[in-house]
Structure formats: structure tokens, C-alpha cells
């Protein structure tokens, strides 16, 4: 989440008066950064993960597992602990993990104390680092509390008690939800304000309808008996019966259902802005692939869903677009018709590389023309100007009266206000003023995994893939509308098994062969004993002669997940590409074996020999003795599920369909 100010947040009616002010100064702030740092070059690979947890309270007598709302206390204790270790030695802070608040009052986020470097030992320390962070969290919980890395809480928003302590949804003054009490939201002013201002700007509650998974005994048609259809407490209460809640669906009506989910995110620092833009583009088509592979959220508000992922729920949960913006009414008081929520997949490839053909950017792209012109006049190129001017069609949602006027030379808060509330699959992060940080790219589509072994495996897979993209000058471009189609497919039940995904067929630079070894690029450091993932690869090989471009529709095909990851015929698969990259490093056996443990998980997920967490969770529910094959995940089933996940993570329960047979909770 963005920075947290202590201050007085404005209601939407007040805040909207400052929207142009925030946008104008936000752009000024960005341009100041641009002027200072556009030519910055030579930054090292630094990178880091963000892991989100839910804290669960177990009641063994009642067989209930509920969300513990003690975030504030737990974070205070964790931070006191960190202070105690570090004392007055500021450099020690770099080695002690960082813990952050999140939207849900039952959530925590952790990051490494300082980013990882490109040294292989550091890359291979990720699992240890994540386990240490989880251990620290565990140590600061009560005896009946556990941290779970689970993407969606199965019983968030059910009738009865699902938080500890219990709170009544009647008091949900920010969201007006029928299901989620005010108390599930982080009490810091930013979060209730964000919730209320999204609802007010939109003109109704958010409305999400997930297709229900119909089991043998699920009534058809399904009209949810747990919705308080006739509640009359808030003006929005009649929305459900007036069409917001669809039959045969699981209806969700509040920001907390989406922003209360956990995910796994990765941030990479690039060598310079142009490599950051290349990495950003290269990872765009990877977003939906990794969403499908990490799928972990098949249960919502106590029901099995026919989808496996959180994505559309979060997109819907912060969809602040007016009816005009959503295209339901002709434009009158809104400025743009906007196809997507501010939380969704990215709409524009931004690299200036020649391989980025204009035809790939085939999504409708509303952008603020005056901001675009201002950026162009300042010397920015077309694509980056469009990228920023597209992000800036959004209004700032939370404004604190104390920070309306800022020094645009030293602050980037107005820029970040808009930037950090565009929650997209990738985020292009400019360097913050007054820091030594370079241009970064954040990869944001993945669902959090139940064990740190899996979270580390996906982190290492993406860092290696990002190296392969840059080093081998890979070309993953397909029309961005096809990436969006993949996002939809990725969320379907068991998508890894049953879906095909659009992917580019020839991913090597034109004219080069798959075996071409690019060890000549970048700086090699043979004198260093420890292997290192480089960060500067330079521009792609120059292409002489005329273009070899094919018609776009011949460049890609629909492939299975197994083909995309493990390859088929001449197509090497993403793991094959990682091996090609690893060859350039000339690793010793020991390092290669350590990496292999992680790649093997990805390989087996993709070929179906290991399950996604979503499939595993769904199977757990459907084989539970209390399950009545009616789609309902009862209190008791949920309790046993939570216990099982915790036991798997601690290595005292086996899950051979989920984890490799040699999985051990002890780090090797």
C-alpha cells in the first residue's frame, strides 16, 4: 500500500475539487524525476518480494477458525522487536525483515529487510528469508493464532462469526456492506476513506458476482439464502434485490472482499529506464500465465466458486467508475468511457524497442490528452506519455487536507496518489526522490502460495525469467487484447489443465537461433567466485536489412500450459529459456541442483503432476466427511482446512498432490 499519513482525509465531495490539482502536481513531480534520472544508468539488480498473511484465531472447542483483527497490536510488537534487535545500529535494520499493514485488519505484509542482490547465494536465500519472516510473525502471535498465506479467506462475509472478536455488518459505515463489518478494515484513515470514496464516486456499492460451482446437491436455480435481501439499513440495501446480486452466483458487495486477499509480488530494479521498459513489456504476457499457475482462491463467502483466482474479485472490489465511465449511460459529467477498473491488467506495452510493433497495443486506451501533450512537450516519447496519461485518467481517491500543497521538487506524493491506486498486473516504478533507488518493475499477478517453498520457487522462477528476457533479448509480444483474454481464462476452474493460452511462437530475436549464447553481452566477472545475475544487457542485436515481420495473427498460437512452461518441438518453453540463460552463468552442480528444486515445482504444476493450491483446496473440501455436495464450505470444514494448511506448512502433514515428494519444511 502507499504511504500512510496521519491527517484529515477528505470526503469524496471535498476530494474531487482537488483532483486536477493532484494530477497537475503529480505530473510536475514525475517530470522532475524524469529530468533528474532519465539518463541514469548502471543500477545493479536489486529485487525483493512481498508476502501477505492472514492471521487466524483457532477455537478448537467450537471448531471455528476466524480472522484475528489484531493487526495493529501485532505490528506494534513486531516493530518493537525489530527496534530491540537493531538498537542504535541503523545498518542492522537492513538485515531484519520489514512488516507492513495491509487493507484487512487481519492481514500483515512482510518484505526482506533490504532487497536481495543478484549474487546467486542471495537469490537462493529467498526461501530462508521468507521462512524467517514467517517465524517472526508466529512468535508474535497468541498461542491460538496462526499466520496463513492463503489468498482468499473461505468464510469472509458469511452469516455468523468469522472475525475475532465478532462485529456486526450493520456498522459498516464505509462500505455499507451487508456482509463485512467496518472492523475488517484497517482502521487507519486511509482505508475507510478509500472504501467510502470508491462507493460514493461510483454511485453505488461495488458488485461482484462469481459463478457458483454447482455440485451434485446444489439447488438450481441458486438463490442465496444467506443474503439479507430485505435489510433496510443503508440506502444501498435494495441493490441486491434490484439486480446487483445475480442468481447462480456468489454476490460480494464490498472492497474488503478483494483488497482483503493476499498475494505474492516481486519488484526488480533495472539497469536503466530502457531495460526497465523492456522487462515490463516482457513480463506482460507472463502475468496471466503465472496467475493460472498460482491459482489459490476457489472459495468465497462460504461457497465453492467456479473460478480459482482472486483477480476479478479485486478488480470489481475497487471499481470506482461511474455509470457513464462504465458505458451504461452516455457521457455527461464524466470525462471518459473507461473499459476497466483501476485494478486490472495493463493496457499498453511501453518499450521503445523495435520489436514492439504498434499493432500489439490493440486495447482501447482512454488517456488524458492535456497530460499527454504536456509530457510530449517536455520531451517524453509517445508510449511513455500515453502510459502516464492513461494512468492519470483516474481521480485521486484519498486526499489529506494537510498534504494538498507539496514541494514538487522533493515530493512525489501526488504522483504516487494516482500511480499507486492504479493496481495493475505490472507496475512501472520511477525512482523515488531523494533515494538511491533506480527504475523498477513490479510483477503483481500471482496468488500467494500456502508454503514458503512455493513462494520462493515462484519468486526465483520470475527473477530468472526476467534475466532470460533481458539477456536473450526474448520477444514475448502478442496483441495485448490476447493477454486480457488469457487473464479471463487463467481464472477458470483448473485452467492449468483445461485451458489454452495465447502465446508467441517464435520468441527469439529475428535472425538468431535458439542456441545463440549471449555471454558476450553485459559485464562478465569471471574473477568473482560467486555467481551473479547481471543487470545490464544492452540493446538487442541490431537487425539489418528489411523487416522480417509476419502478419501478427501468425505470430502466436493457443498453447497448453505444459507447452508454454515445458516446451514442445522447437518451442523451448519458459523453463527451457531459463536453462538457456543459466548456461551463460556456467553454474556448479550444487547451485544448479538448488535451482532445480524450484524449477521442478513449476514444471510439475504446468504438466499437471502437481496440483495448484486451488485444486488442492477444492478437493479437500469435496472429500471432507461433513461436505454435503451442496457447494457450502461450513464452519467445520473451514476449520479443518485451515488446520491442514498450517500443518502442511509446518511439515507435519504430507500433501503429495501439492508438493514434491522430497518437500521438507527444513531449508536445505
Q: How far is the CB of 178 from ligand ADP (least distance, A)?
A: 30
Q: How far is the CB of 624 from ligand ADP (least distance, A)?
A: 36
Span of 53-61, 107-115, 187-195, 615-623 interacting with ligand ADP by CB under 6 A: 107-115
Q: How far is the CB of 240 from ligand ADP (least distance, A)?
A: 33
Whichever of 440 and 467 has its CB closer to ligand ADP, that residue is: 440
Q: How far is the CB of 141 from ligand ADP (least distance, A)?
A: 21
Residue 21: CB atoms within 10 A of its CB come to: 14
Which residue in 442, 640, 646, 649 binds ligand ADP (CB under 6 A)?
442
**Interface with ligand ADP includes 343 (CB under 6 A)?**
no
Which residue has 527469439 as its cell numbers? 508
440 binds, among ligand ADP, Mg ion, none (CB under 5 to 8 A by kind): ligand ADP
Q: What is the spatial distance between Cα 190 and Cα 536, in angstroms, rounded to a whole number?
A: 39
Element (H, E) at 59: strand 47-59
- 475: closest CA among 445, 441, 443, 503? 503
Print the binding letters for residues 259-288 with ligand ADP: x by CB under 6 A, - otherwise: ------x-xxx-------------------
Q: Any idea of the CA torsion for 561, 571, 506, 444, to the nearest 10 degrees?
A: 40
Residues ≥6 apart with Cβ < 8 Å to 377: none
**Interface with ligand ADP includes 50 (CB under 6 A)?**
yes
Q: What is the spatial distance between Cα 374 and Cα 134, in angstroms, rounded to a whole number?
A: 46
Whichever of 374 and 467 has its CB closer to ligand ADP, that residue is: 467
Q: How many residues sit close enough to Mg ion to count as binding (CB under 5 A)?
A: 3
Whichever of 100 and 378 has its CB closer to ligand ADP, that residue is: 100
**Interface with Mg ion includes 447 (CB under 5 A)?**
no
Report the residue number whose CB is nearest to ligand ADP. Answer: 48
Q: What is the spatial distance between Cα 572 and Cα 336, in angstroms, rounded to a whole number?
A: 43
Site for ligand ADP in 512-571 (CB under 6 A): none
Q: How far is the CB of 490 from Mg ion (least distance, A)?
A: 11
Which residue in 49, 50, 395, 499 binds Mg ion (CB under 5 A)?
50
Task: Report the alpha-carbon angle 474-475-481, nearest 5.
Answer: 145
Secondary structure (3-state) at 304: strand
**Interface with ligand ADP includes 47 (CB under 6 A)?**
yes
447 binds, among Mg ion, ligand ADP, none (CB under 5 to 8 A by kind): none
Which residue in 244, 246, 437, 557 binds ligand ADP (CB under 6 A)?
437
Q: How far is the CB of 593 from ligand ADP (least distance, A)?
A: 26
**Interface with ligand ADP includes 452 (CB under 6 A)?**
no
Which residue in 374, 440, 489, 493 binds ligand ADP (CB under 6 A)?
440
Asked if residue 163 has a cis previous peptide bond (ω within 30° of 0), the answer is no
**Interface with ligand ADP includes 182 (CB under 6 A)?**
no
- 100: closest CA among 133, 142, 123, 145? 133
**Interface with Mg ion includes 149 (CB under 5 A)?**
no
**Interface with ligand ADP includes 111 (CB under 6 A)?**
yes
Whichever of 267 and 491 has its CB closer to ligand ADP, that residue is: 267
**Interface with Mg ion includes 297 (CB under 5 A)?**
no
115 binds, among Mg ion, ligand ADP, none (CB under 5 to 8 A by kind): ligand ADP
Span of 44-52, 129-137, 277-285, 641-649 interacting with Mg ion by CB under 5 A: 44-52
Which DSSP symbol is given to 636? H
Buried residues in 554-568 as b, exposed as e (16+ CB within 10 A): ebbeebbbbbbbbbe
Q: How far is the CB of 126 from ligand ADP (least distance, A)?
A: 10
- Assigned C-alpha cell, 455: 513462494
Task: Report the alpha-carbon angle 636-640-643, nearest 5.
Answer: 140
Which residue in 174, 185, 265, 631 binds Mg ion (CB under 5 A)?
265
Q: What is the spatial distance between Cα 655 and Cα 651, in angstroms, rounded to a whole number?
A: 9
Whichever of 46 and 150 has its CB closer to ligand ADP, that residue is: 46
Whichever of 115 and 540 has its CB closer to ligand ADP, that residue is: 115
Which residue in 10, 46, 67, 371 binds ligand ADP (CB under 6 A)?
46
Asked whether the beta carbons of 156 and 301 are under 8 A apart, the reply is yes
Whichever of 295 and 575 has its CB closer to Mg ion, that residue is: 295
Q: What is the spatial distance between Cα 47 and Cα 118, in angstroms, rounded to a whole number?
A: 8
Q: How many residues sit close enough to ligand ADP to count as binding (CB under 6 A)?
A: 16
Which residue in 48, 288, 433, 479 binds ligand ADP (CB under 6 A)?
48
Q: CA–CA distance from 653 to each of 283, 656, 660 (Å)?
A: 35, 10, 13
Whichever of 105 and 489 has its CB closer to ligand ADP, that residue is: 105
157 binds, among Mg ion, ligand ADP, none (CB under 5 to 8 A by kind): none
Secondary structure (3-state) at 551: coil
DSSP string, 70-115: -HHHHHHHHHHHHHHHHTT-GGGGGGS-EEE--SBTTEEEEE-SS-
Whichever of 131 and 489 has its CB closer to Mg ion, that residue is: 489
Whichever of 47 and 103 has its CB closer to ligand ADP, that residue is: 47
Whichever of 78 and 178 has its CB closer to ligand ADP, that residue is: 78
Whichever of 112 and 573 has its CB closer to ligand ADP, that residue is: 112
Q: CA–CA distance from 99 to each of 82, 94, 416, 417, 667 (Å)?
A: 10, 13, 21, 22, 22
Residues ≥6 apart with Cβ < 8 Å to 65: 56, 57, 58, 59, 155, 638, 639, 641, 642, 643
Q: Any idea of the CA torsion for 440, 445, 449, 453, to the nearest 10 degrees?
A: -40
**Interface with ligand ADP includes 112 (CB under 6 A)?**
yes
Task: Report the alpha-carbon angle 364-365-369, nearest 5.
Answer: 140
Whichever of 268 and 556 has its CB closer to ligand ADP, that residue is: 268
DSSP string, 577-617: HHHHHHHTTT--HHHHHHHHHHHHHHHHHHHTSS--HHHHH
Secondary structure (3-state) at 136: helix
Whichever of 535 and 631 has its CB closer to ligand ADP, that residue is: 535
Whichever of 50 and 224 has its CB closer to ligand ADP, that residue is: 50
- Assigned C-alpha cell, 74: 501485532
**Interface with Mg ion includes 109 (CB under 5 A)?**
yes
Question: What residues make contact with ligand ADP under the rule CB under 6 A?
Answer: 46-50, 100, 111-112, 115, 265, 267-269, 437, 440, 442
Question: What residues make contact with Mg ion under the rule CB under 5 A?
Answer: 50, 109, 265
Amino acid at each position: 500500500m502507499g504511504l500512510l499519513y496521519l491527517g484529515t482525509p477528505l470526503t469524496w465531495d471535498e476530494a474531487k475539487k482537488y483532483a486536477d490539482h493532484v494530477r497537475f502536481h503529480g505530473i510536475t513531480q514525475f517530470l522532475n524525476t524524469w529530468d533528474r534520472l532519465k539518463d541514469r544508468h548502471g543500477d545493479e539488480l536489486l529485487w525483493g518480494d512481498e508476502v501477505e498473511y492472514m492471521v487466524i484465531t483457532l477455537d478448537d472447542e467450537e471448531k471455528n477458525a476466524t480472522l484475528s483483527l489484531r493487526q495493529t497490536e501485532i505490528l506494534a510488537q513486531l516493530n518493537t522487536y525489530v527496534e530491540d534487535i537493531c538498537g542504535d545500529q541503523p545498518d542492522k535494520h537492513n538485515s531484519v525483515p520489514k512488516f507492513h499493514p495491509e487493507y484487512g485488519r487481519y492481514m500483515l505484509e512482510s518484505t526482506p529487510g533490504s532487497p536481495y542482490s543478484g549474487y546467486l547465494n542471495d537469490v537462493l536465500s529467498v526461501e530462508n528469508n521468507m521462512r524467517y519472516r514467517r517465524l517472526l510473525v508466529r512468535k508474535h502471535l497468541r498461542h491460538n493464532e496462526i499466520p496463513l498465506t492463503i489468498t482468499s479467506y473461505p468464510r469472509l462475509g458469511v452469516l455468523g462469526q468469522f472475525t475475532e472478536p465478532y462485529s456486526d455488518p450493520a456498522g459498516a459505515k464505509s462500505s455499507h456492506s451487508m456482509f463485512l463489518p467496518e472492523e475488517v478494515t484497517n482502521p487507519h484513515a486511509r482505508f475507510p476513506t478509500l472504501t467510502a470514496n470508491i462507493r460514493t464516486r461510483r454511485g453505488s456499492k461495488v458488485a461482484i458476482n462469481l459463478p457458483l460451482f454447482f455440485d451434485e446437491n446444489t439447488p438450481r436455480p441458486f438463490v442465496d439464502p444467506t443474503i439479507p435481501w430485505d435489510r433496510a439499513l443503508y440506502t444501498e440495501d435494495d441493490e441486491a434485490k434490484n439486480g446487483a446480486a445475480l442468481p447462480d452466483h456468489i454476490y460480494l458487495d464490498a472492497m474488503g472482499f478483494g483488497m482483503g486477499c493476499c498475494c505474492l509480488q516481486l519488484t526488480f530494479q533495472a539497469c536503466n529506464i530502457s531495460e526497465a521498459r523492456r522487462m515490463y513489456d516482457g513480463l506482460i504476457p507472463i502475468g496471466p500465465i503465472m496467475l493460472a499457475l498460482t491459482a489459490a482462491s476457489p472459495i468465497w463467502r462460504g461457497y465453492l466458486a467456479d473460478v480459482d483466482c482472486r483477480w476479478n474479485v479485486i478488480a470489481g472490489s475497487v471499481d470506482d467508475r461511474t455509470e457513464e465511465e462504465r458505458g451504461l449511460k452516455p457521457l455527461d459529467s464524466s470525462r471518459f468511457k473507461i473499459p476497466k477498473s483501476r485494478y486490472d491488467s495493463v493496457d499498453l506495452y511501453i518499450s521503445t524497442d523495435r520489436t514492439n510493433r504498434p499493432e500489439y497495443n490493440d486495447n482501447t486506451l482512454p488517456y488524458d490528452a492535456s497530460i499527454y501533450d504536456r509530457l510530449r512537450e517536455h520531451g517524453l516519447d509517445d508510449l511513455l506519455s500515453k502510459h502516464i496519461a492513461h494512468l492519470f485518467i483516474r481521480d485521486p481517491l484519498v486526499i489529506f487536507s494537510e498534504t494538498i500543497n507539496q514541494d514538487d521538487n522533493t515530493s512525489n506524493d501526488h504522483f504516487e496518489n494516482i500511480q499507486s491506486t492504479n493496481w495493475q498486473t505490472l507496475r512501472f516504478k520511477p525512482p523515488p526522490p531523494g533515494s538511491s533507488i533506480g527504475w523498477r518493475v513490479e510483477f503483481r499477478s500471482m496468488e500467494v502460495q500456502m508454503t514458503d517453498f512455493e513462494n520462493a520457487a515462484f519468486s526465483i522462477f520470475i527473477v530468472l525469467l526476467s534475466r532470460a528476457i533481458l539477456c536473450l533479448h526474448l520477444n514475448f509480444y502478442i496483441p495485448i487484447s490476447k493477454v486480457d483474454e488469457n487473464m479471463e481464462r487463467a481464472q477458470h476452474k483448473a485452467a492449468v489443465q483445461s485451458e489454452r493460452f495465447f502465446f508467441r511462437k517464435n520468441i527469439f530475436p529475428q535472425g538468431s537461433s535458439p542456441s545463440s549464447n549471449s555471454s558476450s553481452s553485459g559485464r562478465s566477472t569471471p574473477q568473482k567466485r560467486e555467481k551473479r545475475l547481471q543487470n545490464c544487457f544492452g540493446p538487442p542485436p541490431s537487425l539489418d536489412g528489411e523487416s522480417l515481420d509476419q502478419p501478427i495473427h501468425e505470430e502466436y498460437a493457443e498453447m497448453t500450459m505444459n507447452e508454454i512452461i515445458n516446451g514442445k518441438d522447437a518451442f523451448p518453453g519458459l523453463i527451457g529459456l531459463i536453462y538457456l540463460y543459466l548456461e551463460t552463468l556456467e553454474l556448479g552442480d550444487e547451485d544448479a541442483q538448488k535451482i532445480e528444486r524450484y524449477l521442478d515445482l513449476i514444471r510439475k504444476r504446468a504438466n499437471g503432476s502437481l496440483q495448484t493450491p486451488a485444486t488442492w483446496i477444492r478437493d479437500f473440501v469435496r472429500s471432507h466427511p461433513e461436505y454435503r455436495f451442496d457447494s457450502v464450505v461450513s464452519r467445520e470444514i473451514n476449520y479443518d482446512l485451515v488446520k491442514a494448511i498450517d500443518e502442511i506448512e509446518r511439515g507435519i502433514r504430507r500433501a503429495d498432490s501439492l508438493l514434491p515428494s522430497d518437500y521438507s519444511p527444513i531449508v536445505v
